[in-house]
């Protein structure tokens, strides 16, 4: 079974631009979560989507948004990019909506560099 896939793997943007990242979950998985990884802040939860609805959101500004399609694929959008948005963005999928025992499986990430 194929794992979580993310595209593109690398991106270079300039301040003020916007960017869209894509994530395809493991086949049959219906929940997709997004995380930001930076050297300073570590791994931080952005949001979770399940059944095309945002179920949970981390402490990030409104410039960070996402959506999920009927086939469970998800996109994340960052508008008005700032230098501090440079990070590795990780997508994770799970079979059902996140619960206390649910395991998330991660993709390889999209590395975003904002110049």
Partner 1 sequence: GDSVTQMEGPVTLSEEAFLTINCTYTATGYPSLFWYVQYPGEGLQLLLKATKADDKGSNKGFEATYRKETTSFHLEKGSVQVSDSAVYFCALTSGGSNYKLTFGKGTLLTVNP
The binding site for partner 1 (CB under 8 A) comprises: 4, 6, 33, 35, 42-43, 45, 48, 55-56, 58, 90, 92, 98-109
We find the least distance from the C-beta atom of residue 99 to partner 1, in angstroms, to be 6
Give the C-alpha separation, 64 to 35, whole Å. 11
Our CB check for partner 1 shows the closer of 20 and 58 to be: 58
We find the least distance from the C-beta atom of residue 69 to partner 1, in angstroms, to be 21
C-alpha closest to that of 105 among 93, 96, 88, 91 = 93
Our CB check for partner 1 shows the closer of 17 and 95 to be: 95
Q: What are phi and psi of 85, to 5 degrees?
A: -80, -5
We find the least distance from the C-beta atom of residue 15 to partner 1, in angstroms, to be 26
Token pair in block for residue 72? 């469970």
Count of Cβ atoms closer than 10 Å to residue 15 Cβ: 11
């Amino acid at each position: 079974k194929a794992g979580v896939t993310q595209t593109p793997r690398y991106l270079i943007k300039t301040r003020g631009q916007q960017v869209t990242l894509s994530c395809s979950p493991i086949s049959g998985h219906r929940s997709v979560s997004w995380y930001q990884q930076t050297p300073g802040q570590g791994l931080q939860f952005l949001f979770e989507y399940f059944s095309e609805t945002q179920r949970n959101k981390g402490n990030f500004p409104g410039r960070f948004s996402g959506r999920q399609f009927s086939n469970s694929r998800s996109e994340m959008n960052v508008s008005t990019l700032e230098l501090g948005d440079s990070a590795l963005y990780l997508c994770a999928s799970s079979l059902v909506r996140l619960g206390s025992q649910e395991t998330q499986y991660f993709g390889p990430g999209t590395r975003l560099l904002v110049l």
